[in-house]
Amino acid sequence: MKNIKFTKMSAAGNDFVVVEDSDLCGLAGKICDRRYGIGADGMLLLEKTVKADIRMRIFNPDGSEVDMCGNGARCAAVYYTYMLSAIRYPLIKIETKAGILEAKIDGDMVKLKMSDPHSMKLDISLVIARNDERKRGVTKQSPCSKSEIALGTSCLRNDVMVVNFINTGVPHAVIFVDDLENIDVDKLGRAIRNSERFAPKGANVDFVKVLGKDKIAVRTYERGVEAETLACGTGCVAAAILSGAGRSVDVVTHGGEILKVCFEKKGAKVSNVWLEGSAKIVYKGRMEL
């Protein structure tokens, strides 16, 4: 048995177990299990680095490692500031597989400068087979009807859906809808996430409703978690950029908290992207594995 020290953290309901022991990489699944472990959307491994103030690695509940996590990085910034650093720096640099991120902290509010998004593709025609079978998209159709989406079906005639794609540190498929509350996020999200269009690694799937000028609501199915989470930072950024709602967007998460996304856009190029919201330590503890 191994006795581990951990810290439970949350950012807009996106919860993480934070550890500093690299020997725990292979135990992320057990640690994140909500019935037999601590329970979390992911495990953050924080390590020393010469490239930044701290290095963050993130592991999903299925054991896979991903390049980046917006809410996880905001938690890492808080952890470094209040648990590791003797000095309160105005700017914290976090090394990730997606590049160096910068964070500013004011209490439990964290502003995170994201890496520039890339690989944006609009109006992708996607065939989603029933029973989660994988098929390749072949034709372009009009967007899904409200009733079809609300019922959680594959939507559209011949099961063709129009989605958008953007990588905001991790890949995201973004779908704009009228009825966000009644969407079967797990069923539709799983089917889209497993589409051959996004093979082999898949994509997070964001269902988005525009609420008004500069305000949207988002629900996200996260790969690796393989379920809907209360919030997804990179998903909020993806949705805000593609929504056309403005350059400073309030994003209502499934957990009810609001994250703010700000960015600059010149033509098709998006830069200077910031994600802002609360991140806090929930509790500290020890666990035997």
pLDDT of 211-222, one tens digit each? 998 999 999 999
Measure CA 52 to chain center: 22
Domains and CATH numbers, the chain: 3-114+278-288 (3.10.310.10), 118-274 (3.10.310.10)
Residue with tokens 């929504």: 243
Element of type H or E holding 272 = strand 269-278
Per annotation, catalytic residue among 69, 75, 144, 236:
69
**236 a catalytic residue:** no
**232 a catalytic residue:** yes
Per annotation, catalytic residue among 32, 144, 232, 236:
232
Task: Name the residue among 232, 230, 186, 182 with its Cα closest to residue 209.
Answer: 182
Prediction pTM value: 0.88
The DSSP line for 166-199 is EESSSEEEEEE-S--TT--HHHHHHHHHT-GGGT
Assigned token pair, 227: 């379920």
- Supply the pLDDT for residue 89: 83
The DSSP line for 200-267 is TT--EEEEEEEEETTEEEEEEEETTTTEEES--HHHHHHHHHHH-S-SEEEEE-TTS-EEEEEEEEET
Task: Name the residue among 149, 232, 157 with its Cα closest to residue 191.
Answer: 149
Q: What is the mean pLDDT of each run of 10 residues along the chain (289 residues)?
A: 91 97 92 95 97 97 95 97 84 96 93 96 77 36 42 47 93 92 91 91 95 95 97 98 92 97 93 97 93
- Supply the pLDDT for residue 160: 74
